[in-house]
Structure 1
Amino acid sequence: MDRILDLIYDAAGDHELWPAALTAIADLTRSEGGILFGQSVSAEQVYFDFNGRLNSECNRIYQERHMQNPWSLAMEVEPVGRVVLSDEVVALNDLKRTGFYDEVLRPQAIGHNAMIALAARNDFRVAFNICRGNGRGGFEAAERQVFETLAPHLRRSVTLGFRLTGYLALRNAAFDVIDKLTDGVVVMGPRGHVLFANQTACSLEAEGTLKLNPSIGTWSPTHSRRLASLVRSALTGGAGGTASTPSFDSSRLLTVVVVGLRSGELSNLYEARISDAACAAFVIDPLRRETVGAQQLMDAYGLTKAEARVALTASSGRTMAEAGLSLGLSANTVKTHLRRVFAKTNTGGHAGLAALLATIGVVKAADEGARRSE
C-alpha cells in the first residue's frame, strides 16, 4: 500500500506514472487493469486518459462508439469520491446484452468494474476505473475497502496534478519557483509546527487571514479547528483534505489543500535544509491568481496549441475580430477554436472561460523573498 500511495502522489507531478499506479492497484485487487479518464459523456469527448494494462484497441472503440454505456451513465449521478461497484448498478447478464459489452468488454474478458468519480465540473468528470475479469467474479468487501482507502488519495493527487503547480515545485525543492507562486505554500513538521512559508503565505499572515506561528490557522477559530483536523489527518498517514476559509475582511473565500509529504519530497527538502518536514498546505486565493500559460491549458484540458492561444487571447476581453487580428487568424477560425475550447473546458462562454483561467492560474512575477520559520 505504501508503494501504491507513493505512485499515486508521484503521478500528481508526473502524469506518465498513472499507468504504473493503476496497474499496481489492479494487481492488489486481483484485477486485469485500470484506466483514468478526463471526459464528458454528454459531449462524447475524452480529453485525456491514462491506461494501466487494458487493451488499447478496446479503449479506442470505447471512445469512438460507447462513451454512453450503462456504467458511465450510472456514474453521472454519483457524488465525487464514492466507490461504486458495477454489479451494484447493472447486473452482468443485462450488461452482456449491450454493444458496449460485445465490443469493449468481451474481447478483454472483463465483466466487473470498480469506479470512482475523482473530480467533477459541470459535465466534465475525472473517472477512475479498475476492471476485473469475468472468471474472478465481483469485488469482495476487502477489495472494496482498498478502493475506499485509496479514494481520498486519488482525489488529492488529481487536485494537485491539475491545480497546484506548487506541489511539483515543492517535490523538487524549487524554492525560486515557490517564491513566485500566487498560491501560499506552508511546510509543517511532525507536530504541525510551521517550518517554511513562501511569500504569498507570509503576506496572507500580514493581512490577518492566516496564522503561521506556531501552527497554521486562520483568524476564525472554527476554520482553524477544521485546518488543524486536516493537518492531523495528513500527519497520521491520511490523505489530508480540502477546506475553505474566509479572508480577514470576509471579501472572499480561500481554499486550503493539506497533504502529507511522501519520501521523495522529504529527501529533497532535507537536502534544502528543511528537516523533519511531514506535511504541506497550499492556500489558493482567487484574488491572487493570474492567467495561466498556454502549456498549462494544453496539459490540463487537452487543448491544441492553437486552441490554447485563442483561449488566452479571447479571455482578455478582445472581440473575435481583435483576437483574430492579434493571432493572424480569421474571425471564423477564432470562433471555431473557441467552440472547441468551451467544450473541452466545460465553460459556456467568454465569461466562464475567463473565470476558469483566473481560477487555475498560478505563477506571478515576484522577486521578494520568502520566510523560513522555526
Structure 2
Amino acid sequence: MAAMEEILDLIYDSAGDHQLWPVALSAIADLARSEGGILFGQSVTAEQVYFDFNGRLNQECNRAYQERHMQNPWSVAMEGKPLGQLVLSDEVFELGKLRNSGFYDDVLRPQGIGHNAMIALAARDDFRVAFNICRSERQGEFEAIERKIFEALAPHLRRSVTLGFRLTAYRALRDAAFELVEQMADGVVLVGYGGDVVYANEMACSLEAQGTLKFKPISTWSAPHSRRLASLVRSALAGKAGGTMSVPSHDRSRLVSIVVAGLRSRESGVLREAHIRGAACALFIIDPLQRRTIGTQHLIDAYGLTRAEARVAASMSSGGLPSTSASASASALGLSANTVKTHLRRVFAKTGTRGQAELAALLTALGVVKAQDARGENVDDRRH
C-alpha cells in the first residue's frame, strides 16, 4: 500500500514536472515486476513522436521504433480501444506470431521483451498519448495481481496527463503574463485547503455571474450537483484523484464539464511564484458556448515573440494538436521550411515549452489557436 501511495505521488508530481515521468514509470514497472515502461504522445499517420518519457527501456530500440515501427501489431491492436482501458498484449496478439515481425526483431528481441500492458490515456483526432509497461519473455505474461495494479492506476494516469496539459498554461504566470491566464478559454478556479476559492480567472467569474457556479463555497446552482462537486473537491484535497463531472448550465441549455484535480507540491510552488498562495485543488470548467479566441498579439506581448514567430506558433499548433508539419506550415504561410523551423526554435525558447506538443497544449489552454487563418489572425471572435 505504501508503494502504491508513493507511485500516486510520483504520477501527480509528473503533471507539473514531466522529467519525473521516467522515475514514475520505473516505479510502476518495479511494482508490476516488469522491465520498464514508456509514456509517449504520437501521431501514427504523421509518423511522428512528439514526446516520450522512457523508464528504463533501451533507447536505441526506442529510436528503431520511432524510425521504422510506429505501425506494429501492438499499435494496430490498440486502435479504437476506449481511453483508460487496460489492454494486455497477449490477449490481442500471440507472442508466437509476433516473433515473425520486423518489430519484434528490431525493437523487442534486443531487450528480451515479449509482453506489454497498454493503456490509451488521451486522444484527439490522430494524436494519442499512450502508457506501456513491458515485461521480458523470461518473466512471462502478466497475472491477475498486475492487472489489478494497472487498472487501479489507469484513472490517475489519465488525470495526470490531462492536468499536465492544463498546467502548461501556468508558464504564462511564471513569465509575468497574468493577463493571458485571465483570458484562458476555460474557466480556472483554485481552491485552498479550507475549501475557499483563492483564485478564479475571468472565464470562471463569468460563469459565476451567470449563475452556473458559486464561489462561497464552491458549488453550482443545483443542490445534487453541488454535493457531487463538494465530494470531488474533498477527494482532491485529501490527496486522492479528484474526478470529472458535468452540470447543467444555469439556463439548462447545455452541459458544462468540470475537471477537479489536486495540486501537489510542485504545482503549488509554481503558483506561489505567481503570488497565488494556499492553492491545493484546481477546477477546470469547460463550457462549449463560452470558448473563445484571444489574439496572437497577446502572445507577442507576453512572450516577446515577433509577429512572424506568433504566426508560426499558431499554424504549427492548428486546432490545438501538434500534428502540423513544418512543410505544411511553410506552404500555408508562404515561407521556407527552414525559416519555419528557425522561428519554431525561437518560439520554444521564449515560451519555455519543450516541443510542439507542449506548445500546442499551451496555445489550446490559452485559446490562441482556435478559429485562426494562416496569417495568425482571428477570423471569428464569436463565442462558440
The TM-score normalised by the length of structure 1 is: 0.72
State which of 218, 221, 243 in structure 2 corresponds to 1:219.
Answer: 221
Match 1:329 to one of 324, 331, 335:
335
The 10-residue stretch of structure 1 (187-196 or 13-22) with the greater mean CA deviation from structure 2: 187-196
Q: Hey, what does 1:205 align to over in structure 2?
A: 208
Aligned mate of 1:23, from 9, 22, 26: 26
Counterpart-to-counterpart distance in 2, 1:314 and 1:269: 28
Moved more, 239-248 or 105-114: 239-248
Which residue does 1:360 correspond to in 2? Answer: 364
Contact in 2 for aligned 1:186/1:197 (Cα 8 Å): yes
RMSD of aligned alpha carbons: 4.0
1:33-62 superposed Cα distances (whole Å, 9 cap, x missing partner): 111121223443322222222111111111
C-alpha change, 1:196 and 1:3, in structure 2 (3 Å) is same
2:129 equivalent to 1:126: yes
Mapped partners of 2:100, 2:110: distance in 1: 14
**The residue matched to 1:137 in structure 2 has which SS?**
coil
Query: What's the TM-score, normalizing by structure 2?
Result: 0.70
Percent identity between matched residues is 64
* Paired residues of 1:188 and 1:278 also in contact (CA < 8 A): yes
Shift of 1:73: 0.9
- Cα deviation, residue 280, structure 1: 2.4
Matched, 1:233 2:239: no
- Deviations for 1:134-171, whole angstroms, at most 9, x for unmatched residues? 1111222222222122211211121122234456679x
Between the aligned partners of 2:229 and 2:53, the Cα distance in structure 1 is 32
Q: What is the distance in 2 between the residues matched to 1:169 and 1:12?
A: 16
Unaligned runs of 5+ in 1: 297-304, 316-322, 338-355, 365-374
1:47 alignment counterpart: 50
SS at match of 2:96: helix
Q: In 1, distance between residues paired with 2:94 and 2:195?
A: 48
- In structure 2, how many angstroms separate the alpha carbons of the residues matched to 1:73 and 1:35? 18
Runs (5+) with no aligned partner, structure 2: 300-308, 320-328, 342-359, 369-384
CA distance in 2, matches of 1:98, 1:198: 52
- Taking the TM superposition and a 5 Å limit, the aligned residue runs for 1:139-158 are 139-158=142-161
Instruction: Tell me by how many angstroms 1:266 deviates.
Output: 5.4
Counterpart of 2:351? none
Q: 1:108 to 1:357 in 2, by over 3 A?
A: closer
Helix, strand or coil at the partner of 1:280: strand
Q: CA deviation at 1:111?
A: 0.8
**In 2, are the aligned partners of 1:289 and 1:362 still within 8 Å (CA)?**
no
Q: 1:138 to 1:188 in 2, by over 3 A?
A: same
For 2:239 and 2:182, locate their aligned partners in 1 and report how far apart those are by CA, in whole Å. 29
Structure 1 residue 312, shift from structure 2 partner: 7.0
Inter-partner Cα distance in structure 2 for 1:133 and 1:95: 14
- Residue 112 of structure 2 corresponds to 109
Bigger Cα displacement from structure 2, 103-112 vs 243-252 = 243-252
1:8 paired with 2:14, answer no
1:28 deviation in Å? 2.1
Aligned amino acid, residue 131 of structure 1? C
The DSSP-based 3-state class of the residue aligned with 1:188 is: strand
* Counterpart amino acid of residue 101 in structure 2: T
2:85 maps to which residue? 82
Q: Could you tell me how far apart the structure 1 residues matched to 2:310 and 2:41 are? A: 21
The equivalences for 1:159-308 within 5 A come to 159-165=162-168, 176=178, 180-182=182-184, 183-189=186-192, 192-214=195-217, 216-250=218-252, 253-265=255-267, 274-275=277-278, 278-286=280-288, 287-291=290-294, 308=312
What residue number does 2:59 align with? 56
Look up the match of 1:302. Answer: none
Report the CA distance between 1:10 and its aligned residue. Answer: 2.4
Could you tell me how far apart the structure 2 residues matched to 1:188 and 1:213 are?
11
Q: Is 1:72 the equivalent of 2:75?
A: yes
Q: Kindly state the Cα deviation for residue 108 of structure 1 after the two structures are TM-superposed.
A: 0.2
Is the contact between residue 165 and residue 361 of structure 2 (CA under 8 Å) also seen in structure 1?
Answer: no
* Kept after mapping to 1: 8 A contact 2:17/2:266: no
> Quick one: structure 1 residues 89 and 312, their matched pair in 2 at CA, closer, same or farther if it must change by over 3 Å?
closer
Give, as a single letter, the amino acid of the residue that structure 2 aligns with 1:90.
F
Is the Cα contact below 8 Å between 1:186 and 1:196 reproduced in 2? yes
Specify the SS of the correspondent of 1:290: coil
The residue matched to 1:239 in structure 2 has which SS?
coil
Pair 314,125 (structure 1): closer, same or farther in 2 beyond 3 Å: closer
Structure 1 residues 80-107: Cα deviation after superposition (integer angstroms, max 9, x where no partner):
0011111221222222222211111010
**1 CA distance for matches of 2:135 and 2:251?**
52
Q: Secondary structure at the match of 2:366?
A: coil
Tell me the CA shift for residue 118 of structure 1: 0.2
Deviation, 1:195, is 4.7
CA–CA separation in structure 2 for the residues paired with 1:313 and 1:26? 33
Counterpart Cα distance in 1 of 2:219 and 2:253: 18
Give the 3-state SS of the residue equivalent to 2:34 in structure 1: coil
Task: Please state how far the C-alpha of 1:181 moved relative to its aligned partner.
Answer: 4.7
**C-alpha distance in 2 between matches for 1:259 and 1:127:** 20
Cα distance between partner residues in 1 of 2:262 and 2:128: 25
